[in-house]
Structures are given as C-alpha cells and as structure tokens.
Amino acid sequence: MKRRTTTIGLVAAAITLSAAACAAPEKSNSSAGSTNTGGGDQTSGDYMTKLIADAQKEGQLNVIALPPTWANYGNIIKAFESKYDIKINSKLPDTDSQTEIDTAKRLKGQGSAPDVFDVSQAVALANTDMFAAYQVQTWADIPADNKDPEGKWVNDYGGYFSIGYDSAKVDAPANLDDLLGSGYKGKVALNGDPTSSGSGVAGVMMATLAAGGTVDDLSPGVDYFKKLNGAGNLIPVDVTPATIESGQTPVVLDWDYLNAAETKALPSWKVVVPDNAVLGGYYFQAINADAPHPNAARLWEEFLYSDEGQNLWLAGGARPIRADAMVKAGTIDEKLYGALPPVKGTPVFPTVDQATKAATYLADHWADAVG
C-alpha cells in the first residue's frame, strides 16, 4: 500500500515539476481577434474616425519605459487618455530600451505585453523583426533618413548630448575641458555606463568630438573620462532627480531634453551643448508586431506625430522629428522652440556601424578607465 502511494506521489511530483518548466495555457486574449485598421485605406476621410472607434473598443494601451519626466511623457500620456478615453498602462517606467524588447519577448501573446516601443538606435535597428509596419498620417513630413522605408520604425524626437550644471553650486563650464578643473572635484556624473547604456556611449562620443576626434575611434573620449576619473572629478553614482536636487551631482552629462527637465525642480539648473562637439541622437518609435492592442497602438502613434503630440515633446525639451515641417506650416510652438539651447557646430549622428565599433571598444577599455 505504502509503496503504491509513494509511486503515485512521485509521478505526481514529476508531472508538477515538468509543468512548472512550461508555460500555462493562455486565457483567451480579449483583443487577439481585433482586425488591424491600419491595413485599410488610410487616405479615406473616415480613416481616423474608424481608427479611433476601433482603438476605443480595445480600451487600453500598454506602454513601457516611459518616465513621466522623459520628454514630457507624463503629460503626453495624460493628454492621450483624456482625449480618447483609452487607459494607458505604463509599466517599468525606469527601465532601458533593451529591457523593452526583452519584456515583449517574455510576454509574447499575453494581454500585458507592450504595444509600442520607444527605443534607442542600436536596439531598434537590431530588432526590426519585432516591429509591425505602419505609416502615420503625417508620414510625408518626416525626412527620409529618419524613417524605415517599410514603415517598421520612425524617429520620434531627438536631442544633443549636453552638460547640465547647477549654476548656484559650480562655475559655468564652457566646454568639457573645463570640467577637469579642481572646482569640479567629486561633482561630475555621466548618466549611464557606456558598456550598457546608450546615453553613456553618447557621452563618450561627445567627449571624443570635443577632443577633436571622430566617432570612428573612441579612444580620445575614453582618455578624457580616464583623466576626469583620475582627477577625482567623476563620480560613478547613478544620476536621479534626488542626486541633482540635493547637490550631490551638480554637473551631469546627459541628453539635453533630460537635463532640461530638471530646471523645473531646480531653477538654477542650466543646460549647455558644448561648441563644436555636438553629438546628436534620435529615439525610435515602433509598434510591437504582437501588440495585444494594435489599433490603440496605431492611434497612439497618430497622436504622437500630430501637431499636438509633437508640441508636447517640444515642451519636454526634445526636438520633435516634424519640427522643420511644422515651422514651415507655422504650427510649432514658437516660444518653446526658441527656448531650446543654442547649438554651435555641425551635429554628428553616429551610424549603426560606428555604434557597433564603439560598443566593442568600450567593452574592452571602459572598465579600466573608471576602475
């Protein structure tokens, strides 16, 4: 008797353990069957009306990695929710672009998978098979270099890498070399580790340009940070609004729109793009090919690329991709546009090949520079 109970018990245990290694059957995905309006005729006058209706039927939108103070996403989300009565589920607001893709892969087929992505260049171009093609109504306004010919991705906003500093705590740095001075001891921070974070790489590239080099060879940039670290000026702390406002990091190297967001909380915070060391970068917008709410995703993109959406990004200090077309059409918010930090010098936008080369170089040399 006991032996039979033991055997049954062991078999049951084996089944349970094997099941634990496999995924459970999926509960019916409520929007799995919704048809993609985007496949229809976009030029018809009813297109937007139909898209809005279909999106509202889905009722929700899953977004990921959109911090409220990143290019004014907090207000963008609120504006979209109140305009279309669609609830936005914003998860993992503080995570990076690669995790966006990894999460979409993890949650594939589930109702909580992200619908849309806002990712950096390297991540976007390496994962185009995850994206669904879609061209927004204002597609023609976007320069050819900033969109995928098939429509799989499109740049949404861009910025230049900058020096943000608290004018009440440190002297205004005119360029990167100034930061090597003794007045900046223990005060300079770079947002992100260049071996894993896109903004970190951009920082090293900006330093390379400032030292007179090109982004094909990042050694001048890494040398700069080695010097900065050796002087005791660079601190490896993770930059947060708290570290900036408390005075722990009175100088932060980051994208200009991210630095600009701090001025609201700290009025003495200023942003400057160094002359002739202008490192530019765009972010990439895409729709998840397995989006649980495909119509809401398309409506979201329509909203982002409408004049209202683009101006909301501008309010966050980012340069919206349709800026040139909107200036010509007079629909841009003149005050905000004029308030962007001036830029002297030709902007450099690294290509994918340059970025890949940079990644290898940094993987081999960064740890020594800041160790």
Segment 295 to 354, residues that bind other proteins, using CB under 8 A: none
Please classify residue 46 by burial: count the beta carbons closer than 10 Å to its beta carbon, then call 0-12 exposed, 13-18 middle and 19+ buried: exposed
Considering only residues 210 through 249, tell me which ones interact with other proteins, judged by CB under 8 A: 232, 234-243, 245-248
Report if residue 162 touches other proteins, rule: CB under 8 A: no
Nearer to other proteins by Cβ, of 336 and 370: the residue is 370
Considering only residues 178 through 217, tell me which ones interact with other proteins, judged by CB under 8 A: 185-187, 190, 192-198, 200-201
Query: How far is C-alpha 185 from the geometric centre of its chain's CA atoms?
Result: 30
In the bound complex, what is the minimum distance in angstroms from residue 358's beta carbon to other proteins? Answer: 8
Considering only residues 78 through 97, tell me which ones interact with other proteins, judged by CB under 8 A: 89, 91-97
In the bound complex, what is the minimum distance in angstroms from residue 48's beta carbon to other proteins? Answer: 31
Contact stretch for other proteins (CB under 8 A) within 41-49, 141-149, 264-272, 290-298:
264-272
Alpha-carbon radius of gyration of the chain = 24
The binding track of 13-32 with respect to other proteins, each residue x by CB under 8 A or -, is x--xx-xxxxxxx-x-----
Residue with tokens 């000026």: 233
Considering only residues 130 through 159, tell me which ones interact with other proteins, judged by CB under 8 A: none
Count of residues that bind other proteins according to CB under 8 A: 79
Tell me the angle at which helices 352-370 and 198-210 cross, rounded to the nearest 10 degrees: 90
In the bound complex, what is the minimum distance in angstroms from residue 88's beta carbon to other proteins? Answer: 13
Determine the Cα angle at 246 with ends 245 and 250, to 5°. 70
Report if residue 122 touches other proteins, rule: CB under 8 A: yes
Q: Are the beta carbons of 194 and 203 closer than 8 angstroms?
A: yes
3-state secondary structure of 234: strand
Q: Are the beta carbons of 107 and 279 closer than 8 angstroms?
A: no
In the bound complex, what is the minimum distance in angstroms from residue 140's beta carbon to other proteins? Answer: 30
Q: Are the beta carbons of 322 and 156 closer than 8 angstroms?
A: no
